[in-house]
Amino acid sequence: MHPNLSFEQAPPISVPYRFFLAAPWFGVLAGVLLAWAGGDALGSRWTPEALALTHLIAAGFMLQAMSGAMFQFIPVAVGGNVWRSLLVANVVQPLLLLGALLLVAGFLFSAPVLLRAAVPALLLGVGIVVTAVLFALWRTPATGMTLWTMRIAVAGLAVTVLLGSLLAEALARGLPLPLIELTNIHLAWGLGGWALMLVAAVSYFVVPMFQLTHPYPLWFARGFGPALLLAVTAWSVLWFVGDAPYARGVGLPLALLCAGFAAMTLWLQFTRRRKVDDATSLNFRVAMLALFAFGVSVAAIVAFPELADDPRATVWLGMLAFPGVFVSTISGMMYKIAPFLNWLHLQRLGAPISAVPNMKKMISADAMTAQFRLHVLALLLLLASVWLPSLVRAAGIMFAGSCVWLGWNLISAVNSYRRFRDQIRANVLRC
Amino acid sequence: MSTTQPLFQHHKHCDEIFADAEAACANGDWVAGATAFADFAGQLETHFKSEEEVLFPAFESATGMVSGPTEVMRGEHRQMRELLAQMKQALDERDGDGFGGTAETLLIMMQQHNMKEENILYPMCDNALGASDVGATIAQRLAGA
């Protein structure tokens, strides 16, 4: 049988779910940390709290959710087969959890020993994920831009973590390395080469599918990933050779690419055939608005460099990118993937389709929409708190609350799966 | 025009009437919803039958692949027919949640199915059936629906 024609290779349901269930709680920790630290936490991108917050979202929330999504997405979307996915997940997830927590604690308490302990855990965990996933992505007979863009994204993850490990070692041991330049390169690979690249790869597939939009134009899908890779590479080379003014200049094409991707996705959504909105489409829209604002803000900083004199300008960019673009996108995706996963695995139990509860019975639609509203409120407060430190604590509490609710909604999806599975098994036995 | 081009275009047409039926029922307009749904279910059935009665047998006899991808597609048609029956029942009972939930499930099932056909099976069929009149027969069937 052609590897692409059936879901048989989809991993056991526990593989993606373990990552999805863990992700929101890093967001809760980030919110609690912000509420506890208060106004000074967001004074610049270099405060221990800001570094800890960034990595709670990037190495915690995002890395967990995106790893889990790749395990599920690769077999279904590009027909790849992740080798022994259950074993890989069993090994990788504890390493990633441990690595992220050690890293965050290392930043927060300025503890070199914790930073150095985080490095092997993250290198090993991410190393295994990247190897397993790249192997699957290379062996699949499928073609297309989703596949190519995913390959670039996974390579981008490897570069991000290698650079991050080097930075952590340099920081912990006081190595004489250009920390600011390396950090700028590390974050361009993390945000652009890995995270946005993966969002683009997945969007080419799921935006038309979930929302019945037109497909991304071929020229766009063919050009965006390579152009982003080129811009991130140019940015890295220029920072590396120490040519800061030119490197900042590369910020302009990067900004245009971000705003361009956001504008294209918003246009496709605006002209979509499906008229019904749900928590997924709403989250995607907020994410794309945040990405557009991110692109415009970067362009403004390139055009008026004096804007960057205020260290809060970079914190503003981080707030747009992390909770704005990626937490929103990931929440929206998980709200679609979890119910479909439930349905997919339940209908394999041997009962007639009519006995399998539909996707909307897995998580309450009202709970998802209400959580989405709280997330938007938290995001607005977080953005405002960059400039109004008195709002920081409230924003932290609101964000923590929103992530608790997200975590709870995903737990309720697992509970629905268990309940329906037991019902179906009991009925099948009775027949 | 390739053999499967009419089926490819018909997928988009089915998407559009699906969206009409879903939107009408979500807004509580059951009369318009019933009309759009009947149209959608009819078009989908014609689509399935064109594949099962014309395309798949032609592909199977040209390639000898009887229990391969066509069998997987037939299985998915069966699942989608069951979901359509559930939607019809929900529509008759004016059960908005039931209709919307099953529509959501069918949509994802259908989109993944279409992608498998468009990216894999149709190109295989175009290769195997390039010189035949299968495409014209399918176009006629779909046009008459």
Q: What is the pLDDT of residues A284-318, one digit of tens each?
A: 999 999 999 999 999 999 999 999 899 999 999 99
Query: What band does A222 get if pLDDT is binned at 50, 70 and 90?
Result: very high
Residues 6+ apart with CB under 8 A from A29: A56, A60, A104
Quote the radius of gyration of chain B (alpha carbons, Å): 16
In contact, A54 and A164? CB cutoff 8 Å: no
Question: CB of A160 within 8 A of CB of A182?
Answer: no
Q: Is B57 on the interface with A (CB under 8 A)?
A: no
Quickly state the pLDDT bin for A3 (edges 50, 70, 90).
Answer: very low
Provide the token pair at A256.
Answer: 């245009």
- Is position A70 within any domain? yes
Q: Is residue A430 part of a domain?
A: no
Inside any domain, residue A108 = yes
Cβ contact A324:A379 at 8 Å: yes
Which CA distances in Å does A108 have to A37, A111, A112, A173, B121?
A: 10, 8, 11, 17, 54
By the 8 A CB rule, do A409 and A371 touch? Answer: yes
Q: What is the pLDDT of residue A2?
A: 45
Domains in chain A, number: 1
> What is the per-residue pLDDT for A350?
79
A423 inside domain = no
- A19: amino acid identity, one letter: F
In order, the DSSP letters of A375-392 are HHHHHHHHHHHHH-GGGH
A217: in domain:
yes
Give the list of residues 6+ apart from residue A313 with CB closer than 8 angstroms, or none: A297, A301, A307
- Structure token pair of residue B122: 């149709």
Closest by Cβ to A275, choosing from B23, B68, B102: B23
A141 — pLDDT class (breaks 50, 70, 90)? confident
Give the closest of B104, B108, B116 to A5, CB-based: B116
Cβ distance of B104 and A359 shorter than 8 Å: yes
Our CA-based measurement puts residue A56 at a distance from the nearest CA of chain B, in whole angstroms, of 32
Say if A431 falls within a structural domain.
no
Q: Would you say A317 and A286 are in contact if contact means Cβ atoms under 8 Å apart? A: no
CATH code of A305's domain: 1.20.210.10
Q: At what angle are helices A145-173 and A197-211 packed, to 10 degrees?
A: 140
Most B CBs within 10 A among A73, A336, A360, A362, hence the mutation to make, goes to A360
Report CB contact under 8 Å: B101, A359.
yes
Mean pLDDT, to the nearest integer, of A140-149?
86
Query: Residue A216: helix, strand or coil by DSSP?
Result: coil
B99: domain CATH number is 1.20.120.520
Chain A residues with CB-CB distance to B104 below 8 A: 339, 358-360
* Optimal mutation site among A273, A342, A362, interface B, most CBs of chain B within 10 A: A273
Alpha helices in A241-327 (DSSP H): 244-270, 279-303, 312-319
Say how many domains are in chain B: 1
Q: Which domain holds residue B82?
A: 5-144
In this prediction, residue B69 has a pLDDT band, given cuts at 50, 70 and 90, of: confident
Cβ of A354 within 8 Å of Cβ of B69? The answer is no
The DSSP 8-state label assigned to residue A323 in this structure reads I
pLDDT band at residue A5 using 50, 70 and 90 as cut-offs: low
Residue A43 in any domain: the answer is: yes
Which is more confident, A359 or A351?
A359
Report the first-to-last Cα separation within chain B, whole angstroms.
20
Q: Give the domain range for residue A78.
A: 7-346+356-418
* pLDDT band (50, 70, 90) for residue A1: very low
A128 located within any domain: yes
**Non-local CB neighbours of A79 within 8 Å, separated by 6+ positions:** A2, A3, A4, A9, A140, A141, A142
